[in-house]
Amino acid sequence: MRHAAEAPSATSSAAPSGPRAARTGPSGPSRPGAAPADLLAALPAEPADHVLRVDARDVALPDDGGVLAVLTLTAADERRPTTLGPRGLAVLHEALVAVQRRAERGEVAAVAVTGRPGCFVAGADLGVARTLRDRSDARTLGVAGHATLRLLGEMPVPTVAWITGHALGGGLELALHCDHRVVAAGVRSLGLPEASLGIVPGWGGCWLLPRLVGLPAAVDLAVLRPLAGNRLTTAEQALASGLVDAVLPADGFERHALAWTAGTLRAGDAAPDRRGAAVPPLPPGEPDPVARAAAALDARLHGAAPAYAHVLDLLARAGARDRDAGFRAEDDALGALLLSDQARAALYAAELTGPGSRRAARPDGPEAEPRPVRSVGIVGAGLMAAQLAVLLGSRLDVPVAMREVDEERAAAGRRRVEELVTQAVDRGRLDPDAGRRLVDRVRVGTDLAELAGADLVVEAVTEVLDVKRAVFAELEQLVRPDCVLATNTSALSVAAMADGLAHPGRVVGLHVFNPVAQMPLVEVVAAGSSDAAALATAVDVARRAGKTVVRTTDRPGFVVNRVLLRMLADVLAAVEGGTPVDVADAALRPLGLPMSPFALLQLVGLPVARHVLVTLHDELGDRYPLSPGLDRLVEQGRAVTRTGPAGSPEVDPAVQDAFGPATGGGGEAVLDRVARGLAEEIGLLLDEGVVPGPEQVDLAMLLGAGWPAHLGGICPWLDREGWSERVLGRRLLPPGVASVPA
């Protein structure tokens, strides 16, 4: 039974009603499972403020339908996402056993499990997972999770998950064990991201999911979506796939969920128990989803992330295993993977990038208060400037004034803003009324004086130092002394732009990555003259715009472009030295990068890449060798990629002529050169104090360059492969941070 429309309202009450007959579960009459408290006693426990709290209450079902036992799950500290660690599992197990006994006595007619608004359960406690000591510990965590959550699947009365928000990993698995699932409209974060964390859905997800949604949808949710940058599932998508039974209005969600539950119970709970049923067969002519996913994994990862293959195997074999065998297979896989270097690295990456994580570096002294930003000015109206206007206008809810040099360019800028807003509305990121207000709030003109009242002005003009300096010199004559001036430069010196100004302290770097709506990172760059209040304002604006901040000092290329261009420069240098372009382009495949080097060049734009390379060569020397072949490609205006057999872009062998004849050289030598160069460059930028430590390098590369999370970022990979010690004589990260302690 599936519903997307609003359910009729129902009145909640705490008065219990008479007993009801217990239902026989899929594995016979329901009995309390083995208490996990003994299993978990020896495991490291989550901090006290992480521990799950279960609030149980009775609600009278309408029309004398009996008592609904409602269990509300929250973290002890409700400001934190609700997660499940060892102590939390024990608390949940105790609560479920208690309600199961009541159900067996006929005291409750059904059980609902829910969370606070915005968060159902965000998964297992990753901090605990990183402290497990051996394979036995890891397997125990899986066994205890199964022993707890399966109580919902074997309850003698119907169970319903009322999904209020984030339902990820173990949180979604909890919902899968229930007979029914309903979700609040607008929820956008349902998923099983475990493969991207180097592990498997180990609390029933791999066995249950194919039975509920079929094998193709299960493979998409648990393998392909994590592979594609952890794309999550929305409430509406979950309804279409059969993952949930109904999408209910978010306003008054519990009232609607109660009415939906009551209606389902009145219908006699006649829906088939898909949790224990066979995996639905593929329709005739349907391509094998397992084979297709295996090909995608091979094309993208080349064996670099074994957890994906484990998840795929568990899904493929789920139909041939009964519940106990399926859960044991998940326990075995979790035990094998959770203590691997790959899992530790991926969990380290998740901690860096997840909610409440170790994020931006803090200043050494007290942090200044940011200045209020009530209006924003932007110099320029090109594509980047228009994207910034839409981001800041919508997220900060402030008027934005843009300035171009002539009316023709200003008109083009207005069209760009309107097109970007239309796209945001069409994709559901803005509602139509908000879109109309945003277009009205962004003014594009030719008079620089329109920016005089702004609290923050961002220059987004061409990447030429003298042009940017001239813009700031002109702005300084117009704006207030406390107005913050920010440059969106990706590599140029912020200090050089501020040199000669009367108030150089208010100039900061605000490097927002393109495409602005999708890229989560902003590098906030501190020149030597930047004052604390200006920097705090830039950080505050970036965070209010929904971005993650990495603070850097004013060194060429900052973090992301400096590291990426070192990698590309070494690949191009190998080609200039005679390595065939197709060999060099394929050399980094073992890393599982989101795209090959030449595909990245094409995405960035060859003229832009050449400009940044020249800048870094001039500033940092021959570690960034110039590429005559790249110069020729820019002059010829040629594309460098084509679509490969797997559908991904790869280098077009025809561009070899721009570099001269290939004389030989293998991919392994290219990969070694790149790895050596990356270790050297990261060691240097850390020695220079560009960021305080390797965690900020990893955060920047994960969010600003798409460096694979399954590698944990760039520093864990360099440490794990031995390059840090060979090149620098030291590891970049302490032992155990992103690897299994020796």
**How does 137-146 read in b/e, with b if 16+ C-beta sit within 10 Å?**
bbbbbbbbbb
Strands (E), 206-329: 246-248
How many angstroms separate the CA atoms of 5 and 84, rounded?
32
The overall longest dimension of the chain from CA atoms, in Å, is 87
AA letter at 56: A
> Where on the phi/psi map is residue 555: left (φ > 0), alpha (ψ -120 to 50), or beta?
beta
- Contacts (Cβ under 8 Å, ≥6 apart) of 41: none
Chain centre distance of CA 485: 30
Residue 606, phi then psi, degrees to nearest 5:
-60, -40
Q: By the 8 A CB rule, do 127 and 344 touch?
A: no
Pairing of strands 456-459, 484-487: parallel
Secondary structure (DSSP) of 340-366: SHHHHHHHHHHHHHSTT-S-SPPPSSP
Cis peptide before 597 (omega within 30 of 0): no
In Å, what is the CA distance from 140 to each residue of 39, 63, 86, 135, 198?
A: 7, 44, 10, 9, 18
Sheet strands side by side (includes 442-445): 442-445, 400-403, 376-379, 456-459, 484-487, 507-512, 521-526, 548-553
Catalytic residue (choose from 104, 154, 173, 404): 173
Give yes or no: 351 in active site.
no
- Contacts (Cβ under 8 Å, ≥6 apart) of 237: none
Residues recorded for the chain? 742
Going by C-alpha positions, the residue among 626, 656, 628, 625 that lies closest to residue 640 is 656
How many angstroms separate the CA atoms of 310 and 307, rounded?
5
Q: Which residue has the tokens 């896989």?
A: 333
Q: By the 8 A CB rule, do 93 and 133 touch?
A: no
Query: DSSP code of 664?
Result: -
How many angstroms separate the CA atoms of 150 and 327, rounded?
10
| SS3 call for 24 | coil
Residue 523, phi then psi, degrees to nearest 5:
-90, 120
Per-residue tokens: 654: 């025809």
Q: By the 8 A CB rule, do 314 and 142 touch?
A: no
Secondary structure (DSSP) of 608-655: HHHHHHHHHHHHH-TTS---HHHHHHHHHT---EEE-TTSSEEE-GGG
How many angstroms separate the CA atoms of 443 and 400, rounded?
6
Catalytic residue (choose from 46, 104, 154, 194): 194
Residue 464, phi then psi, degrees to nearest 5:
-130, 125
Residues labelled as active-site residues: 173, 194
